[in-house]
């Protein structure tokens, strides 16, 4: 279970006993049976009354032609909206629209013309639900936290008619998840950014990773369950019995099992999964082994579930008015988007991407290093289990996701500035006196204008290296990208906090590198190779010589990194574990 999102403040996690499961008579972590009858009543309550569903279908039929078009793009969207908040199968004019700041306009010229990134968030806000459900935790009982359980970005490229998905692990520790104030610092897990609203989450993603966001979509628990129920449920193959005390998942049998919306929600929310593997004879989940890397494991299963859900949609057939009406009515009123994401624009996306096969969309996860310390200490505050970024792996995945090259500004689209045009100051926060000099000499060797080195107290035993920039302009952000790409290790960018004096970064630099506990400076590129040939007349003959200069660009490589108290970098694409639920075949066997 994750720790508090703020020092001294309890996070909005589930209770120790978890929610009971409708798949099997509930068994708590200690092995005692739970109130199965009460659970069934609670389960039925989540579905709403027949009258309410009949009214929803009548309202849905009024605009079924528009909905049919919107559902086509919904199949694309469904690949990316993650667990615990729901999956979007969109939209009509009744969706909730809110003001979201920091969104970037889509490019209007060049090879990236019309390219968009849609931030898809699954919200854990219980208080935002129209009908309180004890299965999710009650707002009235103090389960009031607002976090983004899943953060996924959908990249749409109209020129290539391509779609790709990038997940950002929710436990990734970032410098500016929150707006700094006197009580709470800015650093936190990235899922905590939603506590201050969508604008802060958008800002954190753009400032920390250089990924421009054009639109925002948010869903909640009810939306997800309603979509699955509108499809008549989905089937998944369970190769081993699995249990999660926190999500309520309890599957004691193997094989292809049909799930309704509530049960599917238990699967995609599971991040404390225990499994009955080979050699385990007890049926008591309290004695089953538990997987590690819970955050990454859940993302892995979520990606598989998205494929299963997309297959269920395809099997029923888009364009079927009955299917369309059920799907759209299941999300109307529970879907929140930014005010600029108009219905007309969504229809335009339909026309552009209607031929996309959702099964072919690449799905990647930003690589991270998972800490093996149960409580990460940062400036005296405890943040539970966290993950750190890792370079150059993160930047390589982001470049591939956005379709950009190593020398391109991912926000502005132009070339990155040359090192000689970027001024840098070093703030040594590593706790080692040599680290500041190492950074100074290494960046100077790459051609950066290093203005000096100063000292700042370490934030903890483990600390990220932060590449800060200020003010918040495209020029300064591009300068920070140029510096960040010159570093390896646990490195991340950030917009510097506003200075009370208004003097900007130390020494008037464009970029400040705050050294942490693990970083290195990349080696300079090899010098260009030059071949010179001259033309010399000799009698009636002449010899022609040509001068050719070839610059060798260092190849892109994957670095193997070992850091004390951290697991190795996670891969961008993860294979399913032997115990993970997966698709079923048509005959009820184990799918691919």
- In whole angstroms, what is the distance from residue 6 CA to residue 255 CA? 42
The domains found in the chain, sorted by start residue, are 59-227+315-368 (3.30.420.590), 369-571 (no CATH)
Identify the band that residue 535 occupies on the pLDDT scale cut at 50, 70 and 90.
low
- In whole angstroms, what is the distance from residue 466 CA to residue 464 CA? 6
pLDDT reading at 440 higher than 50: yes
Kindly state the tokens that stand for 225: 């369950």
pLDDT reading at 119 higher than 90: yes
Kindly state the tokens that stand for 10: 């309890």
* H or E stretch covering 141: none
Largest distance between two CA atoms of the chain: 107
Mean pLDDT of 70-77: 38
- In whole angstroms, what is the distance from residue 94 CA to residue 156 CA? 24
**pLDDT mean across residues, the chain:** 76
| Packing angle of the helix pair 50-61, 321-331 (nearest 10 deg) | 110
Q: Find the range with the poorest average confidence among 27-41, 426-440, 546-560.
A: 27-41
Instruction: For residue range 279-313, list pLDDT tens digits in order.
Output: 999 999 999 999 987 789 988 998 888 888 877 87
Mean pLDDT of 169-185: 81
pLDDT reading at 399 higher than 80: yes
pLDDT top residue among 316 and 572 = 572
pLDDT top residue among 511 and 561 = 511
The pLDDT assigned to 579 comes to 96
Q: Find the range with the poorest average confidence among 25-29, 71-75, 269-273.
A: 25-29
| Packing angle of the helix pair 294-316, 261-269 (nearest 10 deg) | 150
Q: Find the range with the poorest average confidence among 20-34, 337-351, 488-502.
A: 20-34
DSSP-assigned letters across all residues of 477-509: HHHHHHHHTTEEESEEEEEPPPPTT---SGGG-
The pLDDT assigned to 339 comes to 93
């Amino acid at each position: 279970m994750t720790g508090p999102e703020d020092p001294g403040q309890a996070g909005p996690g589930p209770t120790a006993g978890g929610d009971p499961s409708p798949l099997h008579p509930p068994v708590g972590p200690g092995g005692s049976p739970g109130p199965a009858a009460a659970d069934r009543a609670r389960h039925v309550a989540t579905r709403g009354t027949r009258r309410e569903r009949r009214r929803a279908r009548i309202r849905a039929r009024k605009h079924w032609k528009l909905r049919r078009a919107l559902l086509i793009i919904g199949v694309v969207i469904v690949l990316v909206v993650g667990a615990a908040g729901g999956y979007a199968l969109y939209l009509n004019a009744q969706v909730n629209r809110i003001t979201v700041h920091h969104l970037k306009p889509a490019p209007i010229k060049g090879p990236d013309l019309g390219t968009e990134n849609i931030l898809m968030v699954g919200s854990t806000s219980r208080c935002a639900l129209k009908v309180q459900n004890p299965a999710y935790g009650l707002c009235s009982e103090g389960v009031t936290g607002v976090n983004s359980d899943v953060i996924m970005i959908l990249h749409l490229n109209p020129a290539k008619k391509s779609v790709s998905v990038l997940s950002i692990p929710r436990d990734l520790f970032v410098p500016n998840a929150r707006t700094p104030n006197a009580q709470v610092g800015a650093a936190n897990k990235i899922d905590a950014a939603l506590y201050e609203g969508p604008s802060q989450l958008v800002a954190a993603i753009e400032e920390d990773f250089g990924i421009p966001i054009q639109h925002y979509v948010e869903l909640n628990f009810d939306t997800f369950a309603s979509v699955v129920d509108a499809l008549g449920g989905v089937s998944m193959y369970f190769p081993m019995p699995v249990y999660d005390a926190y999500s309520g998942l309890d599957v004691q049998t193997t094989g292809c099992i049909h799930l309704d919306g509530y049960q599917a929600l238990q699967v995609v929310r599971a991040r404390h999964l225990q499994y009955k593997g080979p050699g385990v004879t007890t049926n008591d989940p309290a004695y089953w082994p538990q997987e590690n890397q819970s955050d990454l494991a859940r993302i892995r299963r979520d990606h598989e579930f998205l494929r299963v859900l997309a297959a269920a949609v395809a099997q029923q057939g888009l364009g079927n008015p009955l299917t369309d009406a059920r799907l759209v009515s299941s999300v109307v009123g529970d879907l929140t988007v930014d005010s600029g994401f108009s219905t007309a624009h969504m229809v335009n996306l339909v026309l552009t991407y209607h031929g996309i096969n959702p099964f072919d969309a690449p799905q990647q996860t930003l690589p991270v290093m998972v800490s093996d310390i149960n409580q990460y200490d940062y400036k005296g505050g405890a943040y539970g289990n966290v993950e750190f970024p890792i370079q150059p792996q993160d930047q390589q995945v982001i470049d591939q996701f956005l379709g950009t090259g190593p020398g391109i500004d991912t926000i502005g689209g132009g070339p990155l500035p040359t090192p000689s045009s970027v001024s840098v100051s070093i703030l040594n926060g590593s706790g080692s006196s040599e680290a500041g000099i190492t950074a100074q000499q290494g960046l100077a060797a790459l051609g950066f204008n290093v203005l000096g080195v100063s000292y700042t107290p370490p934030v903890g035993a483990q600390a990220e290296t932060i590449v800060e920039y200020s003010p918040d302009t495209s020029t300064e952000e591009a300068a920070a990208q140029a510096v960040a790409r010159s570093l390896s290790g646990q490195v991340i960018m950030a917009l510097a906090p506003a200075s009370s004096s208004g003097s900007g970064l130390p020494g008037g630099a464009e970029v400040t590198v705050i050294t942490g506990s693990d970083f290195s400076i990349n080696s300079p590129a090899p010098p260009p190779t030059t071949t010179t040939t001259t033309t010399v007349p000799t009698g009636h003959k002449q010899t022609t010589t040509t001068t050719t200069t070839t610059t060798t660009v260092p190849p892109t490589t994957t670095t193997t990194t070992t850091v004390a108290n951290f697991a190795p970098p996670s891969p961008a694409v993860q294979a399913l574990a032997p115990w993970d639920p997966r698709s079923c075949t048509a005959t009820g066997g184990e799918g691919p």
